[in-house]
């Protein structure tokens, strides 16, 4: 699959409107065919993630951002369905605590980045600090610009110390969000996910789209690019992110560590 068309290149004109949330081009064939393909991708991701953990040198960070109900939790559930929990971790970022607010905004994020041999998924991330805070005018344009540069510097540090970074924006339509909110509200097994405060943020949809567009354009880099994931279709979303992650892992030149020479003299009786 050609993932380049979803990748935002630095320095090029970018508009979210150029990406259709209902695009289903990652899907092919029947429902069964897509389910089988997703299973195959998940199995291969697990195989490579096992080598990443065994090698214990490289690190992989997957950043997942998106509006409420865009499928962040569902992405983790399906893309990593075959992965052994060993060496993989999810970090979720909610409203900052009093302790976190007493530090700089990157403090709580830095403590959650991957260790050597680890794959970490950020369910929301440091980008919240140039999104919700900007939409609500808690920071001005000057501070927002300063944070864009700080974020790029932070990610440059991670890159230079062995972390590969993949950033995905789950792009759903306002209409699809409405359907998912209604589903949560009316399903006894999902109503616990419904939060009336999400409707207040939904009312600021256009402001959020502009904030996302600005943040993506300002912080995508050659080494840590943003991918726009059409996410109205859950299957399309899962297949596309799986393909991006698999191709990323394949490029990392992962190998199991060699058998230490001193092991050759070991005799197990």
Of 19, 25, 10, nearest in space to 228 by CA: 19
pLDDT in tens, the chain (269 residues): 889 999 999 988 899 999 999 999 999 889 999 999 999 999 999 999 999 999 999 999 999 999 999 999 999 999 999 998 889 999 999 889 999 999 999 999 999 999 999 999 999 999 999 999 999 999 999 999 999 999 999 999 999 999 999 999 999 999 999 999 999 999 999 999 999 999 999 999 999 999 999 999 999 999 999 999 999 999 999 999 999 999 999 999 899 999 999 999 999 99
Assigned token pair, 142: 């000057």
Looking at residue 227, the DSSP 8-state letter turns out to be: E
E strand intervals along the chain: 7-8, 59-66, 88-92, 119-123, 163-171, 226-230
Q: Are strands 163-171 and 226-230 parallel, antiparallel or unpaired?
A: parallel
| Per-residue model confidence (pLDDT) at position 235 | 96
pLDDT digits (tens, 9 = 90+) for 72-96: 999 999 999 999 888 999 999 988 9
pTM: 0.95
> Between the CA of residue 56 and those of 62, 161, 256, what are the distances in Å?
18, 13, 9
| Per-residue model confidence (pLDDT) at position 1 | 80
Residue 261 CB-density burial (10 A; 0-12 exposed, 13-18 middle, 19+ buried)? exposed
CA distance linking residue 149 with residue 152, whole number of Å:
5
| Per-residue model confidence (pLDDT) at position 15 | 94
pLDDT digits (tens, 9 = 90+) for 117-169: 999 999 999 999 999 999 999 999 999 999 999 999 999 999 999 999 999 99
Assigned token pair, 69: 């109900």
CA distance linking residue 149 with residue 127, whole number of Å:
12
Cα 1 to the center of its chain, rounded Å: 19
Q: Give domain limits for the chain.
A: 4-254
Long-range CB contacts for residues 105-110, cutoff 8 Å, separation at least 24: 105/129, 105/147, 106/150, 106/151, 106/154, 109/154, 110/154
CA distance linking residue 122 with residue 133, whole number of Å:
19
| Per-residue model confidence (pLDDT) at position 138 | 97
Is residue 185 a contact partner of residue 194, using CB atoms and an 8 Å limit? yes
Phi-psi category of residue 153: left, alpha or beta, with phi > 0 → left and psi -120 to 50 → alpha: alpha
Of 140, 122, 6, 34, nearest in space to 72 by CA: 122
**CATH superfamily placement of domain 4-254:** P-loop containing nucleotide triphosphate hydrolases (3.40.50.300)
* Dihedral over Cα of 166, 138, 145, 198: its sign: positive
CA distance linking residue 169 with residue 119, whole number of Å:
18
């Amino acid at each position: 699959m050609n993932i380049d068309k979803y990748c935002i290149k630095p320095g090029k004109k970018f508009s979210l409107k150029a990406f259709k949330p209902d695009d289903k081009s990652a899907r092919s064939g029947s429902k069964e065919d897509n389910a089988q393909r997703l299973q195959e991708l998940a199995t291969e991701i697990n195989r490579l993630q096992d080598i990443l953990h065994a090698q214990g040198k490289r690190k992989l960070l997957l950043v997942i951002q998106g509006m409420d109900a865009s499928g962040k939790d569902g992405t983790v559930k399906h893309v990593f369905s075959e992965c052994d929990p060993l060496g993989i971790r999810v970090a979720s970022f909610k409203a900052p605590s009093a302790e976190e607010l007493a530090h700089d905004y990157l403090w709580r994020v830095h403590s959650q980045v991957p260790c050597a041999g680890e794959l970490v998924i950020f369910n929301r991330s440091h980008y919240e600090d140039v999104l919700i805070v900007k939409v609500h005018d808690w920071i001005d344009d000057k501070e927002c610009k300063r944070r864009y540069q700080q974020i790029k510097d932070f990610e440059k540090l991670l890159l230079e110390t062995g972390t590969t970074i993949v950033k995905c924006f789950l792009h759903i339509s306002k209409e699809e969000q409405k359907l998912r909110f209604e589903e949560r509200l009316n399903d006894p097994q999902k109503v616990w996910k419904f939060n009336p405060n999400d409707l207040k943020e939904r009312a600021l949809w256009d402001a959020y789209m502009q904030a996302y567009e600005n943040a993506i354009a300002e912080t995508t880099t050659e080494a840590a690019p943003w991918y726009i994931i059409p996410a109205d279709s859950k299957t399309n979303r899962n297949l596309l992110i799986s393909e991006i992650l698999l191709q990323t892992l394949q490029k990392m030149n992962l190998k199991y560590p060699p058998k230490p020479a001193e092991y050759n003299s070991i005799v197990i009786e």
